[in-house]
Structure 1
Amino acid sequence: MHRVRDFILSFIDFFYPPFRRLIGIQTFRYAFCGGSNALLNLLVFSASYNFLFTDKVIYVLGFAISRYIAAYLLALSISFPIGFCLNKYVVFQSSNLLGRVQFIRYASLTVTNIFLDYFLLHLLVGYFKFWATPSQAFIIVLLSLFSYFCQTYFSFKTVKKEA
Structure 2
Amino acid sequence: MKRFILLVLDFFYQPFAKLMPLQTFRYLACGSGNTAMDILLYYISYHFILNEKPVHFSFLTISPHIAALFMAMTVTFPTGFLLSKYIVFSESNLKGRIQLVRYFMLVGICICLNYGFMKLFVDYLHIYPTIAKILTTIFVVGFSYLTQKKFTFKVKEA
What is the TM-score when the length of structure 1 is the normalising length? 0.93
1:83-107 deviation line (CA, Å, top 9, x unaligned): 0000001111100000010001111
How many residue pairs get aligned? The number is 158
Query: What corresponds to 2:12 in structure 1?
Result: 15
Query: What CA distance in whole angstroms lies between the structure 2 residues aligned with 1:62 and 1:43?
Result: 29
2:31 corresponds to = 34
* Partners of 1:38 and 1:61 in 2: CA distance: 32
Q: Is the 8 A contact 2:52 2:64 kept in 1?
A: yes
Q: What percent identity do the matched residue pairs reach?
A: 39
Confirm or deny that 1:104 pairs with 2:104: no
**Structure 2: tracts of 5 or more residues without a match:** none
Deviation at 1:122, TM superposition (A): 0.6
Tell me how far 1:59 sits from its aligned partner: 2.3
Aligned residue for 1:21, secondary structure, equals coil
Across the aligned residues of Structure 1 and Structure 2, the Cα RMSD in angstroms comes to 1.1
Task: Give the direction of change, closer, same or farther, for the CA distance of 1:55–1:49 in structure 2 (3 Å limit).
Answer: closer
Q: Distance in 1 between matches of 2:27 and 2:57?
A: 34
* Unaligned ranges ≥5, structure 1: none
Indicate yes or no: 2:133 matched with 1:136.
yes
**147, 153, 158: which is aligned to 1:156?**
153
Q: Please report the TM-score for the alignment, with normalisation by the length of structure 2.
A: 0.96
Match of 1:70 in 2: 67
